[in-house]
Structures are given as C-alpha cells and as structure tokens.
C-alpha cells in the first residue's frame, strides 16, 4: 500500500522555479546561504543541461519581495515568466497552470522560497491534478527546521517525492556514457569535493 517508484524521465519532466527573489531569500534560515545559492544555481544549470522546459514565476517582484535572482533570468531568457499579480499559490494563477500544461510534461520538479508556501502550495495542487511532483529539497528554503519539516510532512503525505538536486541530475542522466564531460562539468561546477577529485585525478593522469 506504498507509493510506487516514479522515476524521473528527461522527456517527461519540467522544472518550476518559484519565487527565488532577492528579498524573500533573506527569510531563508534553514540552510546556509553559500550552500543555498549554490544549490539553486545547480538546479538551474541542470535544467538547462537536460533541456527541460523551465518556468519562472515571482510574487510581487516590485515590492519588498524583490526581483528574481538575476542569474535565473539570464539562464532562461526564453522561459515563460509569470509575474503573479497577487496569487500566493502559483497554481491559482491561470497563466502559470497554462504554461505548465503547455509543456506537455507530467513530471514536475519544483523548488522555491519559502518551502511551506511557494513550493508546497503548487506542489499539492499539482498532485491533486494528477501530476507527479518531485520537490528539490536543497534548492528550497524557509524560516527554520520546524516549518521545513512541516512542509515536507504535508507534501509527502500527498504523494510528493523529495530529492536533492544531485539525485535529480543522476536520475535524469541515467548513464554516464550519455555524456561524461557534460555531467562531470555540472558536478564540478557545484560540488567542491567533486571538483577536487577531478582536479587531483587530472593531475595524476596528465602524462598518461
């Protein structure tokens, strides 16, 4: 009577980046800022690397919540960009849902700020409509462990799967032979320990 294994498929998945705005980021305290920034950019990079349809959305960008992280805008210049006029749950915005459905994808990879609202609300709505939802836990942030754990509990009870960005990348890629260089570059760019392994390896095998 368990949740079956829903496996990410790069032909079925889309990425939703919800409210990674400069003001809202100051609220995130359940994850250290250097790590969080790195994780968000890693998720964005993998979305591009796997050429997944990606949606950007923001809440009140001209108010205290602040603008979207400029890097995200730059990485996805062609992506649907829904600046919501007021809806807190992005799924309450018809343009957003339309854009999601326009991707034709049934697997939604979601991350955002703050976890229990900007991530959990659309995740729960999408699950209710039959989408498979994969929450990228380490690219989503919130006030503290209490609110994070509450959000995780609510989403998993409704059938969401929790994953870190590294697991998302690995499940999408399936086999290193699909592109060793590309996946390696993605990891080297966002995992210092992996980068160090590669640097050390390259040095030792340089003359071989």
Q: Is 118 a catalytic residue?
A: yes
Reference 180, options 201, 207, 208; nearest CA is: 201
Distance in Å, CB of 48 to its own copies, minimum: 20
Which 122-151 positions form the footprint of its own copies (CB under 8 A)? Answer: 124-125, 127-128, 137-138, 143-144, 146-147, 149-151
By the rule CB under 8 A, 159 interacts with its own copies: yes
By the rule CB under 8 A, 34 interacts with its own copies: yes
Of 78 and 204, nearer to its own copies (C-beta) is 204
By the rule CB under 8 A, 88 interacts with its own copies: yes
Of the ranges 9-17, 43-51, 54-62, 105-113, which one interacts with its own copies (CB under 8 A)? 54-62
Q: Which residues contact 80 (CB under 8 A, 6 or more apart)?
A: 55, 56, 99, 102
Of the ranges 44-52, 74-82, 100-108, 196-204, which one interacts with its own copies (CB under 8 A)? 196-204
Of 29 and 48, nearer to its own copies (C-beta) is 29
Distance in Å, CB of 93 to its own copies, minimum: 9
Beta bridge partners of 108: 14, 133
By the rule CB under 8 A, 98 interacts with its own copies: no
Task: Find out whether 61 and 37 touch, Cβ atoms under 8 Å.
Answer: no
Handedness of CA 132, 172, 105, 165 (dihedral sign): positive
Structure token pair of residue 114: 């703050």
By the rule CB under 8 A, 1 interacts with its own copies: yes
The active-site residue, picked from 31, 109, 118, 124, is 118
Of 104 and 162, nearer to its own copies (C-beta) is 162
User: What are the Cα distances from residue 171, in Å, to 10, 123, 183, 195, 198?
Assistant: 9, 20, 12, 20, 21
Number of residues assigned to the chain: 208
User: What are the Cα distances from residue 193, in Å, to 23, 47, 80, 165, 196?
Assistant: 30, 22, 34, 16, 5
**Mind telling me the catalytic residues?**
118
């Amino acid at each position: 009577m368990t949740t079956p294994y829903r496996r990410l498929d790069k032909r079925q998945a889309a990425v939703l980046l919800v409210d990674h705005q400069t003001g809202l980021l100051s609220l995130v305290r359940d994850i250290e800022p250097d790590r969080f920034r790195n994780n968000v950019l890693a998720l964005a990079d993998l979305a591009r690397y796997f050429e997944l349809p990606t949606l950007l959305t923001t809440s009140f960008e001209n108010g205290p919540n602040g603008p979207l992280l400029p890097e995200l805008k730059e990485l996805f210049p062609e992506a649907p960009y829904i600046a919501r006029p007021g809806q807190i749950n992005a799924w309450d915005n018809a343009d957003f849902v339309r854009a999601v459905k326009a991707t034709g994808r049934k697997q939604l990879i979601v991350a955002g700020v703050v976890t229990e609202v900007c991530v959990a609300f659309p995740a729960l709505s999408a699950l209710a409509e039959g989408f498979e939802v994969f929450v990228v836990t380490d690219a989503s942030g919130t006030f503290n462990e209490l609110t994070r754990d509450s959000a995780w509990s609510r989403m998993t009870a409704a059938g969401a799967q929790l994953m870190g960005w590294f697991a998302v990348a690995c499940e999408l890629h399936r086999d290193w032979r699909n592109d060793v260089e590309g996946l390696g570059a993605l990891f080297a760019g966002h995992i210092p320990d992996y980068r160090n392994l590669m640097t050390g390896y390259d040095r030792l095998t340089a003359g071989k």
